[in-house]
Chain A
Amino acid sequence: MDFSIILDALKLASVYGVLALGFVIVYRTSRVLNLAQPGVVLLAGLMALTFIPRDATPTRFWLTALVLLALGALAGLALYALLLRPMAGQSHISQVLMTLAALFLLQAISEAGWRGESGFIPMPGRQVAWELFGTNVRLLDVAPIVVAAVVVAGLALFYRYSRSGRQMRAVAENPALAARRGINIEKIGAMAWAIAAALGVVAVFLTSTQGSVSLLLVGTTLKGFTVALVGGLDSLSGLVPAALLVAAAEVVTVRFIDQQLGEAVPYVVLLVVLLVKPWGLAGTREELDRV
C-alpha cells in the first residue's frame, strides 16, 4: 500500500471533517440546513487572498487569520440575526431556501469584490518537508490533519465540559424543554451560527494548504455537507468516520478509476450509506417531520 494514498485520504478527510462540523453544529441547535456555508467559506478564502500578500511574514499571516476568524464569527451572527431568526416558525423548507438565498447574496458580494479571482494563499512553512516511509511529506500535508484533530477534539471538550457547550447539547436534545429550564435559545442559536461560520474560515485555510482559492470552493464545501449527512446530521461522533470514509472513497476513485468521477463520489457514498442507514452512521432517528 502506497503511503501517499493514506496521506491524501487523511488530508482530504481533515478538510471534509471541519467543513462538515460547520453544518452539524448549526443543524444540532437550530435544525436548519445551512446552505449559506459555502458562501462564507468562499468569501473567507477571497479575503485571505487579498489581505495576505505573497511576501507576508508569518506574524502577518497569523494576525490576518485571527481577524478573519473573528469576521467569520460576526458574519455567522449577522446571518442568524438578520435572516434566520425572522424565519422562526416558518416551514423548514422556507428556512433552507432562506440559507440558499443567503448563499447567493454572499456569492454576489464575492463576485462584486473579486470577480472570479483565484489564487494561492501563501502559507508560512511551505518549504518544509521530510522524507517519511519513502514519500516526500511536506509540513503543509501534516498541518491540516493536526489542525482538524485539534478542532474536533476542542469542540468535543467544549460540548462536554463548558457551560455553553452543555446548554447547546440541551438545546439539541429538546429545544422546548431547554427553553423551559431557562436556557436562552436565541443566544445558543447565535453562538452555533458564529462557531459554524468561524469553522468555515478554518476550513478555507485547510483546503488552501492543498490547492487554490477559487469559485470551486463552493463545490468543495457542499462535499463537506455530504460528509455531515453520512455521519448523521446531528451527530459529532459519526463525523470522523464519515469524513474518513468519504475521503478514502474519493481518493481511491480519483487515483485508480477516473479523475472526473471524483466530484460525484461523495454523493454516491452518501446515497449508499443513507440507503443502509437512513439517519447516517450515528445520527439519531428523528420524528417524522415534513421538510
Chain B
Amino acid sequence: MQSPPVLRGRSRRWRRSPYLRTDYRRELALFPYSGPRLAVIAVTVLLVAAYPFLADAYWLGVINLAVIAAIGALGLQIVTGMAGQLSLGHAAFLAVGGFFAAGLYLHLGLPLWIAGPAAMLAGATVGAIAGLPALRIRGFYLGITTLAVQYVIIAIGLKYQGYLQTSFGTSGSLSLPIPDLGLFTLTSTMDWYYFLVVLTGVVILAVTNLKRSALGRSLLAVRQRELAAEALGVNVARVKITAFALSGALGGLAGALSAYYYRGVGIEDFDLLLSVEYLAMIIVGGLGSILGAVLGAVFVIATPLLVGQLIAVLGLEGVLSQHLRAIELAVFALTMIGFLLFEPDGLAGVWQRLKTYVTRWPFKYTAMSTQAKR
C-alpha cells in the first residue's frame, strides 16, 4: 500500500493545499470544515443574528424583502443557472404562489403554515406544466415558451383578481392576516426577519444538497451539453421538467411569503419586469452559484433603495426626484451590463477569487477558474 505523500515543515501546518484530499470522507463532505471556513461561517451567523440590532427598521425591511427574493432567486438559479434553461416567466410562479396563498385564506381561512407548502405545491405543478414543452422543444424556443407562461398566468390572475374583488369587495377586505405559525405570530419586522432568515437557511441547505445529488449533477450535465448528457443516460426532458417544477416550488414559496409580508396581492406586481429582475439577480450574483443567488437578490433589491438614499443624502431630491425611476432603471441596466461584460461569474466569482487569493496567499496561482468549480 502506498502511503500518502508527507508534507514537511511549516507548509504542512499552515499552507496545506485546499485541494489535497486524503480520504473519501473529505471528498464527499458537503462542507469541508477547515478552520478559516468555520470562522467565516461563525462571523456570518453572528452578523446575520445581530443585524436587526445594528440596522434601523427601514433597512431591516429591505433585507426582509431581499431574503424573500433570495428564495425566489434560488428557484430561478436551479432552472436557469444550473440546468441552463432560460426562464422568462419566473414572476408567474411568484404570482401563482401569492394568489394561491391568498385564495386559501380568503376562501377556506387556511393560515400561512398550510398555505406556504400548498403554494409550493401549486408552484411546482405550474412549473412542471411550464416545463412540459421540454418534451418536444429544445434550446431557445423552450426559453420563450416560459414567456408564454408569464402572459397566460397573468391573464388568468387578472380574471381571478377581478372575481375576488367582486365577491369579497375591493382591496380593503382583500388583505391577509398577520401570519400565525402555531407557536408564534409574525407581528413585527424583526419576527419576520428571523423567520425568513431561518427559512432561507433551510432552502439554501436544500439547494446545496440538491446540487451535489444525482439530480443536481444531471442538471449541470444538461446545461453543459444536452447531447452528451443524454448519451450518459440522463433523461433530458424529465430533468428539465423537474428543474422547472423545483423552480416553480421555490417561486411559489417566495410568492406566498411576499403576499403575507405585504398582507395582500396584486397581479400588477408580477409583470415581465419582475421576471427580468430575478434574471438580473442571478447574473449579478453569478449564474449557477447558490451564494450568488442570495448575494444577487440582496444587490438587486437594495441598490435602487441605496441610490434613493444617496440622492437624499446628497440633497439632490429637488433636481433628481422626478427622474428617480429613470435613474433606478439605468443603474439596474448598467450594473447588469457591467457584470455581463467584466465579471461573468458575478459577485460569487468575486468572492471566489478573493477566497482563492487568501487560501493561496504566498503564491499567485489562480488558474483554477470559478467556471470549472461551479
Contact = CB atoms under 8 A, between A and B. Distances in A.
A6 interface: no
A264 B151 contact: yes
Contacts of B360: none
Q: Which of B144, B276, B336 has the most CB of A within 10 A?
A: B144
Contacts of B150: 267
A142 interface: no
A245 B144 CA distance: 18
Contacts of A101: 280, 333, 336-337, 340
Contacts of A105: 329-330, 333-334, 337
Nearest to B336: A101
Interface in B18-47: none
Given A83-B337, A264-B154, A274-B133, A94 B344 contact: yes
Given A260-B155, A268-B152, A271-B133, A100 B139 contact: no
B341 interface: yes
Interface stretch (A56-64, A84-92, A182-190): A84-92
Nearest to B342: A86
B340 A288 contact: no
Contacts of B279: 97, 100
A155 B276 CA distance: 32
A104 B147 contact: no
Q: Please indicate which of the listed interface residues A33, A86, A105, A291 has the most CB atoms of chain B within 10 Å of its own CB.
A: A291
B158 interface: yes
Interface of B: 80, 84-86, 133, 136-145, 147-152, 154-155, 158-159, 223-227, 272, 276, 279-280, 283, 287, 322-323, 325-327, 329-330, 332-334, 336-337, 340-341, 344
Given A108-B330, A111-B329, A290 B151 contact: no
Contacts of A33: 140, 144
Given A107-B333, A112-B326, 7 more contacts: A100-B336, A101-B333, A108-B326, A267-B147, A270-B144, A274-B141, A275-B137
Contacts of B136: 274-275, 278
Contacts of B84: 93, 290-291
B330 A112 contact: yes
Contact of B147 (A94, A109, A222, A275): A222
A90 B342 CA distance: 12
Interface in A109-155: 109, 111-112, 115
A264 B325 CA distance: 27
Closest A-B pairs by Cβ, 7 of them: A267-B148, A112-B326, A108-B329, A264-B155, A104-B333, A108-B330, A111-B326
Give chain A's interface residue range (CB within 8 Å of chain B).
35 or more
A62 B137 CA distance: 44
B141 A229 contact: yes
Nearest to B337: A101
Contacts of A108: 326-327, 329-330, 332-333
Interface of A: 33, 83, 86-87, 90, 92-94, 96-98, 100-105, 107-109, 111-112, 115, 219, 222, 225-226, 229, 233, 260-261, 263-264, 266-268, 270-271, 274-275, 278-280, 286, 288-291
B155 A278 contact: no
A108 B326 CA distance: 5
A272 B159 CA distance: 22
B276 A278 contact: no
Nearest to B228: A288
Contacts of B133: 271, 274-275
Contacts of B287: 93-94
Given A100-B336, A275-B133, A290 B225 contact: yes
A270 B145 contact: yes
B270 to A, nearest CB: 14
B139 A291 contact: yes
Contacts of B334: 105
Contacts of A111: 323, 325-326, 329
A17 to B, nearest CB: 18
